[in-house]
Amino acid sequence: MVVFRLMILLALLASAVSFVLYAITSQLRFRRQGLNILKWTLVAAFGFFAVLIMERVG
């Protein structure tokens, strides 16, 4: 549980750093990278919470 939370936090931090780099440099690759990291972080988080909910139900 703690490891997964740490991984989510680090992925969100990496996404934020990419958006800051985009704001500083205006290079689109940083924005695309930040959105991609954010998208997959949210997919992983929703999957994790779905597993937790299924454990409670079942």
Read off the pLDDT of residues 26-48 as tens digits, 9 standing for 90 and up: 999 999 999 999 999 999 999 99
Dist CA 40 CA 26 (whole Å): 23
pLDDT at 58 over 80: no
**Confidence band for 14, pLDDT divided at 50, 70 and 90:** very high
CA atoms within 13 A on the CB side of 30: 13
DSSP class per residue in 23-35: HHH--HHHHHHHH
Task: Tell me the pLDDT of the chain averaged across its residues.
Answer: 94
